[in-house]
Amino acid sequence: MALTTSTNQALLDAQLDLWHTTFAYIKSMALKSALDLGIADAIHNHGGTATLPQIASKAMLHPSKIACLHRLMRVLIATGIFSVKHLNDDDGGELAYGLTPASQLLVGSISQSPFMSAMLHGVFVSPFLGLGTWLQHERSDPSSELDDHTAAHRAATAVHNSTMALTTSTNQALLDAQLELWHTTFAYIKSMALKSALDLGIADAIHNHGGTATLPQIASKAMLHPSKIACLHRLMRVLTATGIFSVKHLNDDDGGELAYGLTPASQLLVGSMSQSPFMSAMLHGVFVSPFLGLGTWLQHERSDLSLFEMTHGHKTWDVNKHNPAFGALLNQGMVSDSSFVMDIVVKECGHVFRGLSSLVDVAGGLGGAAMAISAAFPSVRCSVLDLPQVIANAPTSTPVKYIAGDMFDSIPPANAVFLKWVLHDWGDADCVKILKNCKKAIPQRDAGGKVIILDMVVGDESSNSKHKETQVLFDLFIMFINGVERDEQEWKKIIFEAGFSDYKIIPVLGVRSIIELYP
Residues recognised as catalytic: 424
Measured CA to CA, the distance from residue 364 to residue 53 in angstroms comes to: 39
Give the total residue count for the chain: 519
Cα–Cα distance, 78 to 458 (Å, whole number) = 12
Q: How far apart are CA 343 and CA 455, in angstroms?
A: 16
Contacts of 169 (CB under 8 A, 6+ apart): none
**Could you tell me if 250 and 256 are in contact, meaning their C-beta atoms sit under 8 angstroms apart?**
yes
Q: How far apart are CA 518 and CA 441, in angstroms?
A: 12
Say which residues have a Cβ less than 8 Å from residue 284's Cβ, sequence separation at least 6. 326, 329, 330
CA atoms within 13 A on the CB side of 225: 12
- How far apart are alpha carbons 509 and 348 in whole angstroms? 9
**Cα–Cα distance between 156 and 150 in angstroms, integer?**
10
Nearest one of 376, 331, 494, 483 to 428, comparing CA atoms: 494
Given a contact cutoff of 8 angstroms between Cβ atoms, the answer to whether 42 and 54 are in contact is yes
Query: Can you tell me the distance from the alpha carbon of 452 to that of 381, in angstroms, rounded to the nearest whole number?
Result: 15
Q: Contact at 8 Å (CB) between 277 and 328? A: no
Other beta carbons within 10 Å of 444: 10
Return the axis-axis angle of helices 465-478 and 6-22, rounded to nearest 10°.
Answer: 50
- How many Å is the Cα radius of gyration of the chain? 24
Task: List, in order, residues 6 or more apart from 168 with CB less than 8 Å away.
Answer: none
One-letter amino acid for residue 206 of the chain: I
- Please classify residue 147 by burial: count the beta carbons closer than 10 Å to its beta carbon, then call 0-12 exposed, 13-18 middle and 19+ buried: exposed
Contacts of 150 (CB under 8 A, 6+ apart): none
Helix (H) or strand (E) holding 360: strand 358-362
DSSP characters over 346-399: HHHSHHHHTT-SEEEEET-TTSHHHHHHHHH-TTSEEEEEE-HHHHTT--SSSS
